[in-house]
């Protein structure tokens, strides 16, 4: 069953991308001619998402102007001009603008390419995989060798059951968190109103045996520095039909 609501975390300062982000919000930095956030929103639309909340802070007016030109998905703005809410607080605030129920969550600066035509998309697979009876959250994960721009950090170990635990050196099946979540909005019903890190909820879910992961099909990238832009653009060219 498709998940039609989404939250996009897009309010960060992008400090490592300076000087580019001295005049531009990070999600609007172009990779192969296309702003990063449009890769993300196109991925969401292709998965059947019809409404997405997007939080804004850094150059918020530029973000709102750009997002106002999109038809799909419908965009609602979660305004963090007054104070950044960090990943968890930003998600909790944005969820209040969406209907209760299942929701997809994505970061605005992490995306993937190379999905197979005619096959379910990664987010459709993640939505189908998510089982709220057994899971607090289902995370999309990727093998380190299928990434561009990543710092090499291994985030979790993925068990054969699909359960995730924090990676410690020597563990089997290390994976990188690919910046996409399927979850129920009610998970954040009692979340604090101030800033906090989303990792708190990851660790709570791990402690309950309720954090699960699904492997990404394709190639994943993150753009954290000016130098990483060229690497990401090269990856996009490799995976384009006829590229």
For the chain, 243 residues long, give each residue's pLDDT as a single digit of tens.
789 999 999 998 888 899 999 999 999 999 999 999 999 999 999 999 999 999 999 999 999 999 999 999 999 999 999 989 999 999 999 999 999 999 999 999 999 999 988 899 999 999 999 999 999 999 999 999 999 988 888 999 999 999 999 999 989 999 999 999 999 999 999 998 899 999 999 999 999 999 999 999 999 999 989 999 999 999 998 887 544
pTM above 0.85?
yes
C-alpha separations of 34 from 22, 30, 81, 184, 232 in Å: 19, 5, 25, 31, 12
Q: Of 203, 1, 185, whose CA–CA distance to 96 is shortest?
A: 185
Q: Of 199, 116, 112, 99, whose CA–CA distance to 149 is shortest?
A: 112
* Bond preceding residue 73 cis, omega within 30 of 0: yes
Q: Of 75, 71, 51, whose CA–CA distance to 63 is shortest?
A: 75
Residue 72, both tokens:
């799909």
Residue 189, both tokens:
């019903």
| Rounded Cα gap, residues 19 and 193, in angstroms | 32
As its CATH architecture, domain 5-239 has: Alpha-Beta Complex (3.90)
* Residues ≥6 apart with Cβ < 8 Å to 136: 183, 187, 201, 204, 205, 208, 210, 211
């Amino acid at each position: 069953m498709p998940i039609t609501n989404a939250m996009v975390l897009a309010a960060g300062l992008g400090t490592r991308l300076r000087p580019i982000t001295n005049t531009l919000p990070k999600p609007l930095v172009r990779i192969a001619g296309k702003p990063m956030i449009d890769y993300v929103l196109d991925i969401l639309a292709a998965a059947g998402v019809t409404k997405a909340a997007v939080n804004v802070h850094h150059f918020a007016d530029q973000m709102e102007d750009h997002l106002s030109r999109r038809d799909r998905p419908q965009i609602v703005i979660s305004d963090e001009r007054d104070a950044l809410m960090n990943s968890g607080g930003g998600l909790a605030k944005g969820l209040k603008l969406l209907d209760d129920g299942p929701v997809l969550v994505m970061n605005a600066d992490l995306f993937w390419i190379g999905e197979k035509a005619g096959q379910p998309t990664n987010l459709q697979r993640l939505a189908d995989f998510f089982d709220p009876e057994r899971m607090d959250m289902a995370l999309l994960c990727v093998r380190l060798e299928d990434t561009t721009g990543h710092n090499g950090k291994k985030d979790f170990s993925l068990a054969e059951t699909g359960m995730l635990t924090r990676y410690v050196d020597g563990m089997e099946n290390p994976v990188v968190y690919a910046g996409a979540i399927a979850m129920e909005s009610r998970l954040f019903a009692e979340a604090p109103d101030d800033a906090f890190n989303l990792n708190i909820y990851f660790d709570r879910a791990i402690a309950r045996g309720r954090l699960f992961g699904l492997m990404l099909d394709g190639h994943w990238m993150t753009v954290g520095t000016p130098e990483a832009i060229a690497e990401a653009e090269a990856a996009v060219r490799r995976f384009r039909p006829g590229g």
